């Protein structure tokens, strides 16, 4: 790599280290070296240290080159006391950001390239720029979005038959989000399935299976990864989807997988050990949870869809609740409906002998419907206090009923 103004480098500060004296300002030399390294691919990383800015929780920043959607970018990881924030920028944005903080908020900037390391230090009376031998000489991988080792790799024949991948086994652009969702779902489900005693893992039921993306993924994972003979059943009201899915399951030889046409509420879940659902519409998620509880399933995992039933209840009572100042705004009604619907679902799981966890299972970049509820059977029996909390929450918000109560026969 050609170092900018290399001809001016002179004067040895210590073994292998040079102090640089040039007409360019020291920060400019540092930034030129950074830009040159970015351009010729020798950039390894940049570290910003000695923070003196106003944000009390910000500590350091680490920056590395990445390729995102075929574009060379810089990925900034802002390290705060209790969290990291990652932001990716093209070179122009990155330089603007760096010029605004190096020597102003961060008194030490270090540049590591495969040709040499640089440090720009503002901690003395005047800035010092040093160059030393490279600490890393091997080129770095820029593949930010390189093929990850996924629970469900793209090469599966059923992914092609379902239209998720093309003839070469590449995920088609419009199916990327669904591909990520099912992978993430299986990544979370995997350890939970492994935790179930094999003799209790008999049947997994996917409620509202649609085109069967998740159902196939779980069947494949059980058969190939867990070497489990557990059956997998997709329950779906649309006959065309059920027919297509059964055809593909037969074609690819997933013998333990089948699809049943009908409504979730009518499905006989007796004997189901695991109940899953991905984006089963509105109260269909409640029917799914109720079927899992009725079967005394070991595990219930749902990622809900819309929350219309509770939204209507909240809207009807909004004006006469202490939250009227929030609930006159549609966006807050929407968010409140989601939280209340899923919060009460978690409580009702607890009321029926399950532990509950509610969390985002995937970034909202891939779907806004990114909340997951996991209920694991505790074997500790019912929890009456959880039912009391449901009653108190309903009274506070003026909600007459949550559909899951009806589905569970609580009213």
Ligand X SMILES: C[S@@+](CC[C@H](N)C(=O)[O-])C[C@H]1O[C@@H](n2cnc3c(N)ncnc32)[C@H](O)[C@@H]1O
Q: HEC string of 354-370? A: EEEEEEECCCCCCCCCC
The one segment of 43-51, 100-108, 145-153, 211-219 that binds ligand X by CB under 6 A: 211-219
Residue 366, interface with ligand X (CB under 6 A)? no
Q: DSSP characters for 286-342?
A: HHHHHHHHHTT-SEEEEE----HHHHHHHHHHGGGSTTHHHHTSHHHHHHHHHHHHH
Sign of CA dihedral 168, 170, 173, 176: positive
Residue 186, interface with ligand X (CB under 6 A)? no
Residue 208, interface with ligand X (CB under 6 A)? yes
CA distance 29 to 56: 30
Residue 210, interface with ligand X (CB under 6 A)? yes
CA distance 247 to 269: 23
Query: Helical H runs in 150-283?
Result: 157-161, 176-194, 213-220, 239-252
Work out how close the CB of 317 gets to ligand X at its nearest, in angstroms, rounded to a whole number. 26
| Nearer CB in complex with ligand X: 111/371 | 371
Binding mask 261-280 for ligand X (x = CB under 6 A): --xx-------------xxx
Q: Are 215 and 259 in contact (CB under 8 A)?
A: yes
Residue 237, interface with ligand X (CB under 6 A)? yes
Query: Helical H runs in 146-229?
Result: 157-161, 176-194, 213-220
Residues whose CB falls within 8 Å of the CB of residue 106, separated by 6 or more in sequence, listed in order: 48, 49, 50, 51, 52, 53, 61
| Nearer CB in complex with ligand X: 102/310 | 310
CA 179 to the chain's CA centroid:
13
DSSP letter (8 states) at residue 264: G
| Nearer CB in complex with ligand X: 184/211 | 211
Position among 87, 238, 308, 389 found at the interface with ligand X (CB under 6 A) = 238
Residue 236, interface with ligand X (CB under 6 A)? yes
Using CB under 6 A as the binding rule, the residues of this chain from 245 to 264 that contact ligand X are: 263-264
Using CB under 6 A as the binding rule, the residues of this chain from 338 to 357 that contact ligand X are: none
Position among 219, 284, 337, 374 found at the interface with ligand X (CB under 6 A) = 284
Work out how close the CB of 305 gets to ligand X at its nearest, in angstroms, rounded to a whole number. 6
Contacts with ligand X by CB under 6 A: the residue count is 20
CA distance 353 to 379: 6
Binding mask 292-331 for ligand X (x = CB under 6 A): -------------x--------------------------
Using CB under 6 A as the binding rule, the residues of this chain from 73 to 132 that contact ligand X are: none
| Nearer CB in complex with ligand X: 87/308 | 308
Residues whose CB falls within 8 Å of the CB of residue 316, separated by 6 or more in sequence, listed in order: 398
Work out how close the CB of 162 gets to ligand X at its nearest, in angstroms, rounded to a whole number. 10
Q: Are 29 and 20 in contact (CB under 8 A)?
A: yes
Residue 213, interface with ligand X (CB under 6 A)? yes
The one segment of 164-172, 203-211, 221-229, 339-347 that binds ligand X by CB under 6 A: 203-211
CA 44 to the chain's CA centroid:
27
The one segment of 28-36, 98-106, 127-135, 235-243 that binds ligand X by CB under 6 A: 235-243
Interface ranges with ligand X (CB under 6 A): 208-211, 213-214, 235-238, 241, 263-264, 278-281, 284, 287, 305
């Amino acid at each position: 790599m050609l170092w900018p103004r290399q001809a001016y480098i002179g004067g040895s500060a210590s073994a292998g280290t040079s102090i640089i004296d040039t007409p360019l300002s020291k920060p400019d030399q540092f930034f030129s070296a950074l830009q040159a390294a970015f351009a010729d691919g020798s950039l390894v990383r940049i570290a910003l240290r000695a923070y003196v800015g106003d944000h009390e929780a910000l500590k350091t920043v680490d920056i590395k080159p990445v390729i995102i959607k075929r574009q060379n970018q810089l990925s900034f990881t802002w390290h705060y006391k209790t969290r990291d924030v990652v932001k990716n920028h093209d070179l122009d944005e990155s330089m603007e950001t760096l010029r605004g903080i190096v020597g102003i908020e961060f008194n030490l900037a270090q540049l590591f390239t495969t040709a040499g390391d640089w440090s720009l230090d503002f901690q003395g009376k005047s800035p010092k720029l040093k160059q030393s031998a490279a600490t890393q000489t091997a080129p770095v991988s820029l593949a930010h979005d390189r093929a990850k080792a996924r629970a469900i790799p793209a090469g599966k024949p059923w992914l092609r038959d379902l239209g998720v991948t093309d003839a070469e086994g590449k995920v088609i652009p419009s199916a990327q989000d669904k591909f990520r969702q099912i992978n993430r779902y299986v990544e979370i489900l995997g350890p939970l399935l492994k935790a179930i005693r094999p003799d209790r893992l008999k049947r997994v039921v996917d409620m509202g299976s649609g085109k069967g993306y998740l159902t196939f993924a779980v069947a494949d994972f059980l058969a190939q990864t867990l070497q489990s003979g557990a059956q997998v059943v997709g329950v779906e009201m649309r006959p065309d989807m059920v027919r297509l899915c059964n055809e593909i399951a037969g074609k690819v030889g997933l013998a333990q997988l089948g699809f049943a046409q009908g409504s979730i509420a009518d499905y006989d879940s007796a004997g189901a050990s695991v109940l899953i659902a991905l984006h089963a519409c509105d109260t269909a998620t409640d029917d799914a949870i109720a079927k899992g509880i009725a079967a005394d399933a070991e595990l219930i995992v749902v990622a809900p869809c819309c929350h219309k039933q509770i939204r209507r209840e909240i809207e009807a009572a909004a004006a006469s609740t202490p939250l009227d100042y929030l609930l006159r705004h549609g966006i807050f009604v929407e968010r409140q409906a989601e939280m209340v619907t899923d919060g009460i679902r978690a409580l009702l799981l607890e009321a029926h002998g399950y532990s509950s966890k509610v969390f985002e299972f995937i970034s909202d970049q891939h779907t806004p419907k990114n909340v997951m509820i996991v209920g694991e059977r505790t074997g500790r029996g019912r929890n009456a206090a959880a039912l009391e909390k449901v009653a108190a929450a309903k009274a506070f918000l003026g909600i007459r009923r949550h559909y899951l109560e009806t589905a569970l026969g609580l009213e």
